[in-house]
Amino acid sequence: MELIAMLPWWVGVALALVLYLLLHRVATQELVVNAQPGQMATAMTQTIWKTMAYFGQYLLPVLCLGGAAISAYRRHQRKNLVANVTGSKAADSLDNMSWHEFEILVGEAFRLQGFQVAETGGGGADGGVDLVLRKGSEKFLVQCKQWKAFTVGVTVVRELYGVMAAKGAAGGFVVTSGRFTDEATAFASGHNVKLIDGPRLFGLIKQATAARAGNAMTPVMQATPAPVKLATSAPSCPVCATPMVQRTAKRGSTTGSAFWGCSGYPSCRGTRQIG
């Protein structure tokens, strides 16, 4: 049921219908009884399958419909959360959510951006990853930190970066309703990790909702930072062919401009221009 609940509700309904038709056909088939001693095992196997199909034709569709109902409820819950946020005038509305509501809202924000979203629940062997995003062949990892009065430090960002490397993710996001420390921001800028604080998440949801409504030019509140530019696939280093990371020039005539730098720096000093 939980697996079906991860799919769109209509998939669960369609699957319930297909399972009923298939199992009903098996359950209503007449058994061919062969009294020969050597065929008794085959007859018993047919009887077992028919019995399982008889009960399964009712049980499995009910489970599928239950999963579809859960999926529909979650979809309704996500829409309500987004509506509440877009109806607010400030990002403070995020602070009144539970951690689970915050995670659902973040997932819906990425869905509005065109990502496929899988909720993992955080903790366990996944290294604290709450959401796994997919767009095409690329995978992105998300950690949600619904901290009302605290700042997210560099340790959280480093942990996510380690999980990204282990799982071969193209990029990662740390999302919080609070703020990030300067150390966290500095580390993320060179490791393809995007940090989204409360005001940025608020603006991202408002901008994406307006775009979905066919009004993409609706301006986000002036007090809200520009929406986050979502991560794209990093190119390969022209020198050693390893993945590159986005960096910012700190000296020279290009100070302040972004460029692709080899992740093997300082062993390799390969660079590429962005754009």
Give the model's pLDDT for residue 218. 38
* Together in a domain, 37 and 148: no
Torsion, CA 210, CA 215, CA 221, CA 222, rounded to 10: 140
**Which of 86, 114, 146 is the C-terminal boundary of a domain?**
86
Give the model's pLDDT for residue 18. 93
**C-alpha span between 4 and 40 (Å, rounded):** 38
Give the model's pLDDT for residue 195. 92
Tokens matching residue 216:
């993409």
Give the model's pLDDT for residue 228. 42
* Together in a domain, 12 and 64: yes
Q: What are phi and psi of 142, to 5 degrees?
A: -130, 135
- Is 152 inside any structural domain? yes
Tokens matching residue 135:
């767009």
Task: Give the number of domains in the chain.
Answer: 3
- Is 107 inside any structural domain? yes
* Together in a domain, 160 and 200: yes
Stretch (H or E) spanning 59: helix 40-86
Q: Could you read off the pLDDT of 183-225 as tens digits, one per residue?
A: 999 998 878 899 998 888 887 777 766 766 654 433 333 333 3
Give the model's pLDDT for residue 219. 38
**C-alpha span between 226 and 144 (Å, rounded):** 20
List the domain range (segments joined by +) for residue 260. Answer: 244-273
Give the model's pLDDT for residue 101. 80
* Together in a domain, 82 and 126: no
Give the model's pLDDT for residue 226. 39
Mean pLDDT by 10 residues, the chain (275 residues): 80 91 87 62 80 90 91 79 69 70 84 84 60 90 77 89 89 88 88 87 75 48 38 65 73 71 72 76
Stretch (H or E) spanning 114: none
Give the model's pLDDT for residue 254. 67
DSSP string, 137-182: TEEEEEEEE--SS-EE-HHHHHHHHHHHHHHT-SEEEEEESSEE-H
